Amino acid sequence: MPLRPRLLRAGDLVRFDGRLQTVVALEGAAVRLVDEAQSASVVMLAHLLSSEDFEVVSATSTRIVMPAADVLEGLPDKAVERAGWWQWHLVEMLTGRPLDEPDGPVRPEYDPAVRSLRRRELAKAAELTAAGTAVSMTVLQDMRARFEREGVLGLVDPRLRSVPDGTGRADRRVVEALEKVVAEQAGRSTVSAQVLRRRMERLLEAENGHGTVPLPSRATFYRLLKAVSSGRHTLGSARTRRSLAKQPDGMFDQLTVARPGEVMEIDSTPLDVLVVHDDGTVDTVELTGIVGIATRTLAAAVLRPSTKAVDSALLLARAMTPEPMRPGWTDAPQNQQAVVPQGTGRDRTRHRSSRQSL
C-alpha cells in the first residue's frame, strides 16, 4: 500500500508525473524534485499531495545522500571503513532494506510503512548491542541526522574532514562556491562583500538546487571570505588584484646556464623620454630587448611606440643575424672572416703572378 505521510522530507523517493523523483528541497509550500535523468522541477506541495499518481516509494531515501566515489578520497582507511559500516546500518534502518539489496525484501523490524522512526532506531540499537557493538540512542540519532544531512561524509569524524585552509568545518560546497566567486572577481571591478555573498548563493542554488545547501551566517561568511581571499586583494584595488592574479602559483626555480645563447630572456619597458616618431609626432617609446642569461649581454633591441608581435619577430631576426650581415652593409665586412678567398679564380691567379714578378 503506498505510503502517504502528512509531511515530506528532503531525501524521500516519490512517484509523480509517471516517473520516480527525489525530493531535494522544500521551501514553504514549494517542493523541488529531481528525476533519475537529473531533470529538476518545482511543484506546489498541495498539488503534489493531491495528485492521483503521487506516492512515496521510500521515505528518507538515501539517493540524495549518496556521495560521489571520490568524496572520501584522502581520508584514513579506518575512517573510510567506519563510515561504510555506519552507512550500511543506517540505510537498512531508514529504508528497511540492506544497502547491497535495494530491491530486496523489507525487514519487518525496519519497515518504514508500519514502524515509526523511533521504533526502528530502538531495534537497530538493540541489534548492534547484541552483535557486540554497544551504541547509545544519542549516538545513533546523531549519526542518522548527519547522514541524512551530509551523506556518507557526515559519518566521518569532523576533525578528519577539516582542511588547513582556514575554513575549518564549513560545508565544502560553500567553500568551493566562494572560491569560484573570488577567482572570477580577479578580472572585474571591485564590489562589496555582500555582492560576493549574493553571487555565492546564486551559484550554490544553480549547482545544488534551491535550499539544498545550508547558507552560512553573516559572520561565518566574512570569516570564510577572509580565508579564501587571503593575498588576492579581492575587496581592494582592482589594478592590484589583476596584477596579483597574473603571478604564477609557485616560485620560480633557479636556472643554471653555462653556455652563451642557451637561455635568452625578452622583456619590454617604457622609457620616460620623448622622441620624434616617423610621422612627426612626439611621444614616449618602449624598449624591448633580448638578453643572454649566461653572458648578460644584449643580443638585440628595438625602440617602438608600443611593442607588437611584428616587433618581437624583428627582435629575434636581429638577434640571430650579426649586424654586419644585415642589409645595408657592404660585402667587405661580411667576407673578412670568410675561409674561402674572395674573387674569382682568374683574379687570384693574376694576383699571384703580380706577386711573383715583384
Confidence of residue 71 (pLDDT cuts 50, 70, 90): low
pLDDT tens-digit readout, 194-203: 999 999 999 9
Taking the C-alpha atoms of residue 74 and residue 80, their distance in angstroms, rounded to an integer, is: 9
Average pLDDT of the residues of the chain: 78
Percent of the chain residues topping a pLDDT of 70: 77
Identify the bridge partners of residue 30 per DSSP, sorted by sequence position: 27, 44
Task: State mean pLDDT over 75-80.
Answer: 82
Taking the C-alpha atoms of residue 320 and residue 38, their distance in angstroms, rounded to an integer, is: 60
Residue 49 reports pLDDT greater than 90: no
Q: What is the layout of strands, in order, in the sheet containing 19-27?
A: 40-44, 30-35, 19-27, 13-16, 55-58
Cα dihedral 334, 336, 342, 348, rounded to 10, equals: 170
What pLDDT is stored for residue 182 in this prediction? 92
Give the residue with greater pLDDT, 358 vs 327: 327
Residue 354 reports pLDDT greater than 60: no
Residue 38 reports pLDDT greater than 70: no
Taking the C-alpha atoms of residue 354 and residue 130, their distance in angstroms, rounded to an integer, is: 122
**153 secondary structure, DSSP code:** G
Q: How many C-alpha atoms does 27 have within 13 Å on its Cβ side?
A: 12
What pLDDT is stored for residue 331 in this prediction? 67
Identify the bridge partners of residue 31 per DSSP, sorted by sequence position: 26, 43
Taking the C-alpha atoms of residue 50 and residue 59, their distance in angstroms, rounded to an integer, is: 18
Q: Which of 36-50, 117-131, 199-213 tops mean pLDDT?
A: 117-131
Beta strands at 19-27 and 30-35: parallel, antiparallel or unpaired:
antiparallel
Residue 171 reports pLDDT greater than 60: yes
| Lowest mean pLDDT, pick from 23-37, 54-68, 185-199 | 54-68
Percent of the chain residues topping a pLDDT of 90: 11
pLDDT tens-digit readout, 84-98: 899 889 888 888 888
> What residue spans of the chain are helical by DSSP H?
45-50, 77-95, 117-130, 137-150, 158-161, 172-184, 193-208, 218-228, 238-245, 309-320, 331-335, 345-357
Identify the bridge partners of residue 302 per DSSP, sorted by sequence position: 288
3-state class (DSSP) for residue 4: coil
Task: State mean pLDDT over 29-58.
Answer: 79
Q: The whole model's pTM is what?
A: 0.38
What is the domain partition of the chain in residue ranges?
Answer: 13-58, 77-161, 172-245, 264-332
Contact between residue 27 and residue 211 where contact means Cβ atoms under 8 Å apart: yes
What pLDDT is stored for residue 169 in this prediction? 66
pLDDT tens-digit readout, 294-320: 888 888 898 888 888 888 888 888 888
